[in-house]
C-alpha cells in the first residue's frame, strides 16, 4: 500500500463536509506506481470502505501513465490550466468546476483537507 493511503480518511471527511452543497469526490485507483494497488476492483473498494469508511464513488482501476492512459487522465494532465505534466504518484488531486473544467491540481503531498484545497472547493461551490 501507498504511504499516502491515509488520505482516504481525509477525502471522506471533506466529502461529508461538502457533499450536501453538490461536491463530489471520484476515486480512481491505479497500479502504475510501484504496483501498490494490486487488488481487484472489488478488493480495493472493500479495503477503502472497511479501513477508511469511504462512501464516495470508487471507479475501476485505470491507467494514468503511458500510451494506454485513460482519456480522462489525458485531459487532466494536459490542459491549458494546469499544463502538461504526468501524474507523479498516487493520490494526486484535481479540482473540476461545475462545468467540467479543470480548475487546479495538487500533488500527493498536499493533504485533501489542506486550506489550499478546502478554500478552492468553497470558492467553486459558491459560484
Catalytic site includes residue 48: no
User: What pLDDT is stored for residue 37 in this prediction?
Assistant: 82
Q: Is 98 a domain residue? A: yes
Least confident of 32-36, 65-69, 77-81, 88-92: 32-36
Q: How many residues does the chain have?
A: 127
Q: Is 28 a domain residue? A: yes
In sequence order, the 6+-apart residues with CB closer than 8 A to the CB of 28 are 59, 61, 62, 64, 70, 72, 73
Structural domain of 81? 7-125
Q: Is 25 a domain residue? A: yes
**How does pLDDT run across 30-71, given as a tens digit for each residue?**
999 988 888 999 999 999 999 999 999 999 999 999 999 999
Q: Which of 2, 9, 75, 96 is catalytic?
A: 2
- Total tally of structural domains belonging to the chain: 1
Q: Is 35 a domain residue? A: yes
pTM recorded for the entire structure: 0.92
Q: Is 64 a domain residue? A: yes
Nearest to 100 by CA among 79, 126, 86, 122: 79
The domain spanning residue 11 has which CATH number? 3.40.30.10
Amino acid at each position: 500500500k501507498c504511504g499516502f493511503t491515509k488520505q482516504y480518511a481525509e477525502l471522506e471527511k471533506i466529502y461529508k463536509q461538502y457533499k450536501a452543497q453538490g461536491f463530489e469526490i471520484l476515486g480512481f485507483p491505479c497500479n502504475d506506481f510501484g504496483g501498490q494497488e494490486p487488488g481487484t476492483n472489488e478488493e480495493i473498494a472493500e479495503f477503502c470502505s472497511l479501513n477508511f469508511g469511504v462512501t464516495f464513488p470508487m471507479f475501476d482501476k485505470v491507467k494514468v501513465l503511458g500510451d494506454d492512459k485513460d482519456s480522462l487522465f489525458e485531459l487532466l494532465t494536459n490542459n491549458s490550466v494546469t499544463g502538461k505534466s504526468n501524474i507523479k504518484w498516487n493520490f494526486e488531486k484535481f479540482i473540476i468546476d461545475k462545468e467540467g473544467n479543470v480548475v487546479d491540481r495538487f500533488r500527493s503531498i498536499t493533504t485533501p483537507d489542506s486550506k489550499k484545497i478546502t478554500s478552492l472547493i468553497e470558492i467553486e461551490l459558491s459560484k
